[in-house]
Every structure is written in structure tokens, then in C-alpha cells.
Amino acid sequence: MKSLLKTTARLLAMLAITPLLLTHQTLGRLAGADASLESHSQLLSLIPGTVGSYLRVAFYRFALEHCAASATIGFGVLFSKTGARVGENVYIGPRCMLGWVDLEADVLLGPAVQIPSGPQTHGIERLDVPVRTQPGSPRRVTIGRDSWIGAGAIVLADVAEQTIVGAGSIVTKPLAARCVAVGNPACPLVERK
């Protein structure tokens, strides 16, 4: 029965977001896919509760490179890159800001986690050109399956599977599988066995 209710809710959410898919496609042609995604992401982020999550997932299933139907996407979550991927049973807590990410299956993101498109999203080499107009070197940041990223963490490098990143930590270098890492910069404390 629960499975049938979820399937029905997902179908209703898809119907409800159909107009947004049309505006996303149109704006994508005019302003670019990522700019359109940001606008629509901001709008959808304002819908609270379970209804909001179902609507966001329904939209992102079409707007992102991949978004599993089983994902949960909290209030205030913003995506900025259409190349993002969200795996099965991923939970994204409220107010997360996500760029070019790959969230593998069963990843948990606490509230206010930030995962931009790597550490060099803006160029800084030239002093005669504003930073905002210099090209950076964005790259996909992968969070391995069954990992948990604590509240307020900032992740600039890959996190391997089954790794825990403590709340408020800043990941500046790739983290190995099955460790618990904390701090600024995040350093492994213990290995999970």
C-alpha cells in the first residue's frame, strides 16, 4: 500500500511540474541550461515539506543529468549545474547548495552542506580582470555511496564510499573510504571497520 501511495505521489508531482519543465526548456535556450536550472531551483526550493520534496525530485529527474525517484530533497536546496547526479535513496537536507556533484546511492547530506564544483570555480590569475569574469576550472565532486556529510560542511574534493565528514568540516583533499574526517581542513580521525 505504501509503495502504491508513493508511486501515485510521484506521478502527481510529475504532472504538477510539467509547466516548469516547459519554462525550463525555453529559458534554457535563451539563457543557458545552468542559468535556467538556478532560477527554477530557487523557485522550487521554497515549497516546504514532503510535497516540496516530491515536486523537486520530479523536476530534477528531467533537469539534472540523473536524479533517482527515491531521493529526498529538502527545503531550500539549490542546484546550479545540470550535470549533477543524485543516486538512489539519497537524502539532501535543508538549505544545501550543490554544483557539479555526483551523490552516489544512500548518501546523506545534513543541513546547509555546500558542495560547489570543485575548489577552482573562478579564475584568480589576472589582476586586471575581475574575478567574476575569469574562467575557472570547475570539476565534478563525487560523494561515494553510503557516506554522511554533516551539517554545514563544505566539500571541495571527492569523498570515498562509507565515509563520514563531521559537521562544519571543510574537505579540501580527497578522503579515503570508510573513515571519519573532521576539521578545517578535514583530516581522518578513525577508520570505520
| Residue range 106-119, pLDDT digits in tens | 999 999 999 999 99
In this prediction, residue 3 carries a pLDDT of 87
In this prediction, residue 1 carries a pLDDT of 82
Contact 73, 91 (CB under 8 A): no
Instruction: Give the residues of the chain that fall short of pLDDT 70.
Output: none
| Residue range 59-94, pLDDT digits in tens | 999 999 999 999 999 999 999 999 999 999 999 999
Q: How far is CA 68 from CA 32, 84, 127, 166, in A?
A: 24, 12, 43, 26
